[in-house]
Amino acid sequence: MTQPAPGTSPRTTIKRAPERGVTDRETLYAILDAGLVAHVAVVEDGQPFVVPVGYARLGDDVVFHGSSASRLFKRLAEGQPTCVTVTLLDGLVLARSSFESSMNYRSVMILGTARRLEGDEELAALRAISDHLLPDRWADIRPPAAQELKATMTLSLPLAECSVKVRTGGPEDLEEDLADPVYSRVWAGVVPLVESFGTPEPDDLSRDADVPQYLRRWTRT
């Protein structure tokens, strides 16, 4: 089934800086595939909470997990509407005024109702999360035991209603700041932000073991 383009529903139409809105799903997928942490909103007794979670994109769904004892995740499994966001920060934009200074970013917002996964669906989602966060690691490690699965709640949220917003480029200074004899001489531009994996640090049992080749290949986009 063809999914609607991002930012095309009344709730996801971008009104603030609409020129930064992106409506192609390939960009949506690319941002979600590059991110590692999502923030999930849930309300408990009238109090909003935002929970950071590891996640993965599985086709046209985002899957994530938490404790089956979590009262917040229970609310989501019961059908409470949620909002899930993923943001990648690419740089700090230094303008000649604080007001025009900004950030370069790629962001996704997803609205909808999650459903709980069980059985083979849950196991496939857990493997997808592992493969997303720890590529090629699943084949080396012990799979989840029955008791561990019982303690885990895995949820799936469809990418049916979402928006994508991206900012790139340099500062957008006011003409008067560019012409000002003092402020025009202030350095302005972009300071890129780059995530990277550090040198692996083995535990005591792994000090004499070779670092797996797949770990050496891990990179950030």
3-29 pLDDT, tens digit each: 889 999 999 999 988 899 999 999 999
Beta-strand runs (E) in the chain: 21-22, 37-44, 47-58, 61-67, 82-94, 102-112, 115-117, 152-158, 161-167, 189-192
pLDDT in tens, 118-153: 999 999 999 999 999 999 999 999 999 999 999 999
| Backbone dihedral angles phi then psi of residue 176, each to the nearest 5 degrees | -70, -30
Three-state SS at 46:
coil
Q: Which domain holds residue 161?
A: 18-174+197-216
Residue 188 lies in a domain: no
Query: For residue 67, what is the domain's CATH number?
Result: 2.30.110.10
Residue 11 lies in a domain: no
pLDDT in tens, 94-120: 999 999 999 999 999 999 999 999 999
User: What does the alpha-carbon distance between residue 6 and residue 27 come to, in Å, rounded to a whole number?
Assistant: 10
Residue 191 lies in a domain: no
Residue 57 lies in a domain: yes
pLDDT in tens, 73-83: 999 999 999 99
Residue 204 lies in a domain: yes
pTM of the full predicted structure? 0.93
pLDDT in tens, 49-66: 999 999 999 999 999 999
When divided into structural domains, the chain yields a total of 1
